[in-house]
Structure 1
Amino acid sequence: MNDYILGIIFSIGYISRGRLIFKNKNKYFLEQIQKVCGNNIYEQKDKNNIQYVLSTKYFNIEKLKSIGWNNRSSDVRKLPELNQYSDFLRAYIELHSRFDYSTRYRNKRKKIKYKALRLRIYGNKVLIKDINKILNMDANTTLKSPQNEKNNKTSCISYTSINEIKSIFQYIEKRPYFNSFWEEIESKLRMPIIV
């Protein structure tokens, strides 16, 4: 098992009846897990949407817990201790980030608006705090002030500097990766500003 697959396990895995369960609308992530454990992937309807599910007893849950893994709904979730985080964060960011455009002002007095690209990374607030530090050290981003959600468990960090966004993706860019996600990155970086 590599750090990329570990990133998927930390991102979407949870325990049910002694089995590790993975669900996602993108079959690709479950196929990565399947390469390790060999279990079948099946489809499940969820509110008229199809999602893919893989259930396995292959992974030693106690061993995963010993490196910091816990259920997605846990109050506190930390990153595992790894030598480097680029592969792990590639999986995590592919699963728990979003691109959108935020409104900004060229000239506040004249109220000239434009829209600029923004990357947001979501997750448990302890995990996001750790990711913030790693991206600061390894991808040369500035430390962000996470925005906490009302549930006080989850938060989000936002990157609006095109240079920082590029730096993050240069840091995590390797294979394997989820093609659709990286195609969206390339497309959005070609048009980082909408006037």
Structure 2
Amino acid sequence: MLNDYILGIIFSIGYISRGRLIFKNKNKYFLEQIQRVCGNNIYEQKDKNNVQYVLSTKYFNIEKLKSMGWSSRNSDIRQLPRLKQYGDFLRAYIELHSRFDYSTRYRSRQKKIKYKALRLRIYGNKILIRDINKILNIDASTTLKSPQNEKNNKTSCISYTSIDEIKSIFQYIEQNPCFNSFWEGIENKLRMPVIV
């Protein structure tokens, strides 16, 4: 059954090739979620000495997906589908298109005492990111961010540096199914949000 979580995976990594919807990712888990719906086989593909998993299917109605706002991964315009609630969709999207790192901050106005603090970055097409920014502002009580546009002028990134906002985002999207190793990584990082 096509649920919002699987729709989040389709919008995150699906693209069209020869009339088929193709999914590729280094984490087999995401393709297994798609496989549960369509039943197609997953196979391994080597890409520059790295293994990635691939699933190809004609199961999904591409025109219906397009009517919901989906477009192939490299499109100039990608929109969010209209959903009643975005927590499940965004859980898949954020599991696939976010990164944790540490940014340098300063403890004093004179910028003499440096430390590193946790930062969450969410990436994607600029229209998707604009809409995700608004949803997280309303549903996860985050402040609106100023997206940073990439040189290609198609993609952008929003960054969250407040630990309270990061926790609020993950409380908003926390449910099952989920990519367990991603969530274990979050728990580990949130145990040590600051490096002195």
Tell me the TM-score normalized by structure 2. 0.99
Runs of 4+ aligned residues of structure 1 deviating over 4 Å after TM superposition are none
Q: Give the aligned partner of residue 106 of structure 2.
A: 105
Q: Give the aligned partner of residue 26 of structure 2.
A: 25
Measure how far apart 1:109 and its partner are: 1.3
2:10 partner amino acid: I
1:147-177 C-alpha deviation (Å, 9 max, x unpaired):
0000000000000000000000000000000
Q: Give the aligned partner of residue 80 of structure 1.
A: 81
Alpha-carbon distance in structure 2 between the residues aligned to 1:143 and 1:107:
25
Alpha-carbon distance in structure 2 between the residues aligned to 1:111 and 1:118:
21
Counting only pairs closer than 5 Å after superposition, residues 64-79 of structure 1 correspond to structure 2 as 64-79=65-80
Alpha-carbon distance in structure 2 between the residues aligned to 1:158 and 1:109:
24
Please state whether the residue corresponding to 2:134 is helix, strand or coil: helix
The answer on 1:150 being equivalent to 2:151 is: yes
Alpha-carbon distance in structure 2 between the residues aligned to 1:58 and 1:151:
32
Alpha-carbon distance in structure 2 between the residues aligned to 1:61 and 1:155:
25
Superposition RMSD in Å = 0.5
Alpha-carbon distance in structure 1 between the residues aligned to 2:101 and 2:64:
37
Q: Give the aligned partner of residue 131 of structure 2.
A: 130
Q: Give the aligned partner of residue 142 of structure 2.
A: 141
1:85 partner amino acid: Y
Counting only pairs closer than 5 Å after superposition, residues 41-52 of structure 1 correspond to structure 2 as 41-52=42-53
Alpha-carbon distance in structure 2 between the residues aligned to 1:124 and 1:139:
21
Q: Give the aligned partner of residue 62 of structure 1.
A: 63
Please state whether the residue corresponding to 1:107 is helix, strand or coil: coil
Structure 2 residues without counterparts, runs of 5 or longer = none
Measure how far apart 1:25 and its partner are: 0.2
1:184 partner amino acid: G
1:13-59 C-alpha deviation (Å, 9 max, x unpaired):
00000000000000000000000000000000001100000000000
1:5 partner amino acid: I
Q: Give the aligned partner of residue 175 of structure 1.
A: 176
Alpha-carbon distance in structure 1 between the residues aligned to 2:48 and 2:184:
27
Tell me the TM-score normalized by structure 1. 0.99
Alpha-carbon distance in structure 2 between the residues aligned to 1:125 and 1:61:
22
Q: Give the aligned partner of residue 192 of structure 1.
A: 193
Alpha-carbon distance in structure 2 between the residues aligned to 1:13 and 1:57:
12
- Number of aligned positions between the proteins: 195
Measure how far apart 1:108 and its partner are: 3.3
The answer on 1:117 being equivalent to 2:111 is: no
